[in-house]
Amino acid sequence: MWRGQKKPDATDRPEKTVEPTSTKTTIAIAIVAVIIAMGAIVSIWIIVKGGDEPLAGPTAPATGEDATPPAEKFRDDPFFDDLGRPVYTPVDDRGALLTQVAPPSVRAESDAPGGIVLQVVHGNLVLPFSTTDGPTGFTENGVATGFSRTPQGAGLAATHYLAFLSTGNDRISLMKEAGLVEDDEGFLQQIVMLNAQGGEGAAENGRSQIAPEFLRVEYHDDLSRVSHGVRLRAPNGETGNLIGWMDLVWRDGTGWIVKIRGPETFKTDWADSLEGWSQWW
């Protein structure tokens, strides 16, 4: 389940042996590892703000793009999330759609979307909205859609959809009902069953989550692999860089959806550094 140079065992307790009853369960557990890890539930490790790695892409909107959210779409005072980023509370619990403007005519895959505003939606999910790459709408059950067919749009979509898949069966149901996830082999149902059983690692309904700090997009016109990265710290001060990735495909009339084919499309690893990753929000 855990690959790379070290395992997230901050307490030095023995590793539990998992004896899955089927191949699907084995693969589902591997997929759950990504979802749980990127939701910051890795043993007793906690997410911390990244260091001074050289990053790919700007962290601020391009000239002419206003990242100041319109007051009439938000309520209460803004607040800082666990990584010190300003977050706004929309009047509409689904989120506040921002007026879209044309992006720069030339952008690299690593360039940030314009006008990013972090919003707390569905009660406790901190997610990014942009003025250049969406979202531009919602499904009937309230999941953001309308992300652009660009690297930036794929990165935004993946960040939203990861949050819904990693915060309990109620939100997994929203993704399935909206047609925003395709699961050829039924692995997602195994995740639902594992969550329902509870216990260590299970995602309870309505769990909170913030957008991962680091991101990287491998973009093709109809397929993208979006990787997220988080810096974790144990109580003893040890740190590690956890990364996880997911595949998205483009569907005409729907836009980006999550495509689960097995553990290769939902996977984790440990990275020596996050140098070269983007930090869009």
Q: Give 198's strand partners.
A: none
pTM of structure: 0.83
CA 203/CA 11 separation, integer angstroms: 21
Closest to 158 (Cα-Cα) out of 41, 265, 72: 265
CA 119/CA 81 separation, integer angstroms: 10
Who contacts 138 (Cβ-Cβ below 8 Å, separation ≥6)?
94, 95, 144, 145
Please return the burial class of 272, using the count of CB atoms within 10 Å of its CB with bins 0-12, 13-18 and 19+.
exposed
Residue 5 banded pLDDT, cuts 50, 70, 90: very low
Lookup: tokens for 10: 């901050």
Which position has the higher pLDDT, 140 or 190?
A: 140
CA end-to-end distance (rounded Å), the chain: 29
**Domain extents for the chain?**
23-271
DSSP string over 176-243: HHTT-EEETTSHHHHHHHHHHH-STT---TT--EE--SEEEEEEETTEEEEEEEEEEE-TTS-EEEEE
Q: Can you give the pLDDT at residue 174? A: 98
Q: Can you give the pLDDT at residue 27? A: 57
pLDDT reading at 13 higher than 50 = no
Which position has the higher pLDDT, 86 or 238?
A: 86
pLDDT reading at 24 higher than 70 = no
pLDDT reading at 279 higher than 60 = yes
Q: Can you give the pLDDT at residue 51? A: 58
**Cβ neighbours, 10 Å, residue 77:** 7
Q: Can you give the pLDDT at residue 83? A: 92
Which position has the higher pLDDT, 8 or 46?
A: 46
pLDDT reading at 52 higher than 60 = no
Cα 198 to chain centroid distance, Å, stands at 22
pLDDT tens digits, 153-167: 999 999 999 999 989
CA 28/CA 163 separation, integer angstroms: 18
Please compute the mean of the pLDDT values over residues 27-41 and round it to a whole number. 55
pLDDT tens digits, 68-122: 788 899 999 999 999 999 999 999 999 999 999 999 999 999 999 999 999 999 9
Residue 43 banded pLDDT, cuts 50, 70, 90: very low
